[in-house]
Amino acid sequence: MLVNKLKKGDIIGVVCPSDKVNEEDIIDINEAKKLFEEKGYKIVFGKNVYKNTTGYGATAKEKADDINEMYANKKINAIISLKGGFNSNSVYEYLNLDIIKANNKIICGYSDSTSYINYIHEKTGNIGFIGPNFKSVNSPETNYYSLDEMLNRFERNYYELATDDKEFITIREGQAIGKLVGGNLSLITELVDEIDFSNKILFLEEFCFESPTGMVSNYLYRLRQKGIFNKISGLWLGNYGGDVSIEKILLDTIADMNLNIPIIKSDNFGHIERKITIPLGVKAEIKNGKIKLIEDYLK
């Protein structure tokens, strides 16, 4: 389902389904709020964002309550995850999917947010976005590239998925069309029984400081063992940054498989400062070693 585009004056709701807010997060949060306001947007934080009920964050129900309320509130035009961390999957059973589906709106985040945003997309058909978390837009060293790229994605139908064609590397040639699904590799591995990967273009990234080479291999073999590589129409790898490249680990994993799908790589999404925003559930095409959207996602 297409989502309404964002326009100046709209209200963005912020939720925190992952880790608790730490003292060191506050500077980035305050700066991010200022940046969004300077761009013409209003910010509203969920009532449970700063709670630490469990000692490692709000309870699963408190986190889900914020998400449900942001969807139910007609004044909220978009939702962004505050930060990453762990266990956003804890909200699944507390999400009101009927309310969420009936109030389709932009929702964005990355890293641990991969989990609940993909889950919402799969269960409702709503378009989600894998892009910056709220506090991560405070990146002056990149001239706030991720913020500008994200708002550009939300304000108009923008089909490019790279700022420069040279960002793409061809690992296996070929052509594919499919709806986009994906995000953080470790979370996608946990979602193998929740997502229908059939004929999708799967995009994957991982954080080298949390997932060493052996763990990335573990995740990729899990996808192989669950038959995911046999279901998808194409594969798009993003940033990893480990001692061994993610593309080598992937090729080691699928070496004896008779796969006939294109595989490309670009270092413009994932756990990096300069990241693009990628819509879930939107049709894209891999062609000539590049990928771009081929349908609208905003109305």
Q: What is the DSSP string of 215-231?
A: HHHHHHHHHHHTTHHHH
Looking at residue 76, its amino acid is I
Q: What is the rounded distance in angstroms from the CA atom of residue 7 to the CA atom of residue 5?
A: 7
Backbone φ and ψ for 135, nearest 5 degrees, come out as -75, -20
What are the domain boundaries of the chain? 11-155, 165-293
What per-residue confidence (pLDDT) applies to 164?
83
Average pLDDT over residues 2-29: 97
The 10 Å Cβ neighbour count of residue 239 is 19
Q: From edge to edge, which strands make up the β-sheet containing 201-205?
A: 168-172, 263-266, 234-237, 201-205, 176-184, 283-287, 290-293
On the 0-12 / 13-18 / 19+ scale of CB atoms within 10 A, 140 is exposed
Decide: 87 and 81 in contact? Cβ < 8 Å.
Answer: no
Does the pLDDT of residue 249 top 90, yes or no?
yes
Q: From edge to edge, which strands make up the β-sheet containing 42-45?
A: 42-45, 11-15, 76-81, 106-109, 129-130, 278-279
Tell me if residue 99 falls in helix, strand or coil. Answer: helix
Q: What is the rounded distance in angstroms from the CA atom of residue 40 to the CA atom of residue 34?
A: 10
Does the pLDDT of residue 165 top 90, yes or no?
no
Average pLDDT over residues 128-138: 97
Q: What is the rounded distance in angstroms from the CA atom of residue 282 to the CA atom of residue 294?
A: 8
Residue 140 makes CB contacts below 8 A (sequence gap 6+) with none
Query: Tokens standing for 196?
Result: 């229908």
Decide: 84 and 113 in contact? Cβ < 8 Å.
Answer: yes
**pLDDT (tens digit per residue) in 175-228:** 999 999 999 999 999 999 999 999 999 999 999 999 999 999 999 999 999 999
CATH of 11-155, one of 3.40.50.620, 3.40.630.10, 3.40.50.10740, 1.10.10.10: 3.40.50.10740
Tell me if residue 125 falls in helix, strand or coil. Answer: coil
Backbone φ and ψ for 156, nearest 5 degrees, come out as -155, 160
- Tokens 């100046």, residue located: 8
- Banded pLDDT at 56 (limits 50, 70, 90): very high
Average pLDDT over residues 60-88: 97
Q: Which CATH class is domain 165-293?
A: alpha beta
What per-residue confidence (pLDDT) applies to 163?
83
What per-residue confidence (pLDDT) applies to 166?
85
Query: Tokens standing for 98?
Result: 């009927």
Query: Tokens standing for 144?
Result: 């706030």
Alpha-carbon distances, residue 268 vs 127, 145, 237, 240, 274 (angstroms) = 21, 11, 10, 11, 6
pTM of the complete model: 0.97
- Banded pLDDT at 66 (limits 50, 70, 90): very high
